[in-house]
Structure 1
Amino acid sequence: MVDLTQLMENEVFMAFASYAAIILLKMMFMSSATAFYRMTRKVFANPEDCTGFGKGEIAKKYLRTDDRVERIRRAHLNDIENIVPFLGIGILYTLSGPDVSTAVTHFRIFLGARIYHTIAYLTPLPQPNRALAFLVGYGVTLSMAYRLLKKILYL
């Protein structure tokens, strides 16, 4: 059984928890931004979402796509595809007892890369900005996975 008091005293775990909370809040913001743009631009993906704006053919005109809504939605989807693996590997990496400064560097770089990725996606900045931000974040997750497996395999 995991002793929560011990975890709360673990500097690496507390750093991970802080950065994980920030990155999850950022991801939650993206879903709120998607909903906001859908409502303000009256752009809906499902017929039942349009019923508040009329019935039949009138409601169907709101069943469409919009470039801005789709851009935010794709950025959010990209967050999900990258943040979930970071959190899973990150928690295991954190529990493996890594060096504090190395672990915090991993967490900071990942957070910075994901924030920059979102800015590059939504602005939009020219490529390779977004691609480089993605690769940096992905590289951080791979680095933590490598360090974790290296430690586990050489116990």
Structure 2
Amino acid sequence: MSEFIKSEVFLAFSTYASIVLLKMMMMGPLTAYFRITRGAFSNPEDAKAHGGKDEDTRKKLLRTDPDVERVRRCHQNDLENIIPFIGIGLLYTFTGPDLSTALLHFRIFIGARIFHSIAYLTPLPQPSRGLSWMLGMGVTFSMAYRVLRAGMHL
């Protein structure tokens, strides 16, 4: 196992997985920032903590905001795409792929996810966000195919 952990493919995967996981983790604080700056809270205790001392003010702060919802949807999309990439990518590293092929998979996915977030949050016109989503999904499916193909040749 220690030989595997020292492999260039696994080290590359660990690096790129860490980058994309950190990117995904940053969406939580970004959501909080938008909630605070837009004065849009989903819980009464949060509204109270941020200026809603009386009932009427709390009710005004308990609302949805388009910017907050956009960040939340972007975060949700990260969860739906990055978690499968991490699981399938780890399995993919066990198949012994060529380093250059693995790096291509990892780099395209990371680039697609970063661009997807930029396209979502800016917002850039479609189909930019959709194409970046498809590209990232295509990478994950490509790795899954390679894992399945390797497993069928045992």
Aligned to 1:85: 84
Aligned to 1:106: 105
Instruction: Give the unaligned 5+ runs of structure 1.
Output: none
Task: Encode CA deviations 1:18-63: one digit per residue, 9 max, x unaligned.
Answer: 0000001110111110011111222111122112221322211100
How far is 1:11 from its partner? 0.5
Q: What CA distance in whole angstroms lies between the structure 1 residues aligned with 2:56 and 2:4?
A: 57
Q: Out of 12, 22, 38, which is 2:35 matched to? A: 38
Aligned to 1:135: 134
- Length, aligned pairs only: 152
Q: Tell me the C-alpha RMSD between the 2 structures.
A: 1.0
Aligned to 1:63: 62
Contact 1:7–1:14, Cα closer than 8 Å, also in 2: no
Q: Which runs of 4+ in 1 moved over 6 A?
A: none
Q: Out of 4, 25, 29, which is 1:28 matched to? A: 25
Residue 48 (structure 1) aligned with residue 45 (structure 2): yes
Aligned to 2:120: 121
Task: Encode CA deviations 1:81-119: one digit per residue, 9 max, x unaligned.
Answer: 000000010000111211111111000000000011011
Task: Encode CA deviations 1:125-144: one digit per residue, 9 max, x unaligned.
Answer: 11110000000000000000
Contact 1:43–1:66, Cα closer than 8 Å, also in 2: yes
Aligned to 1:76: 75
What amino acid is the match of 2:127? P
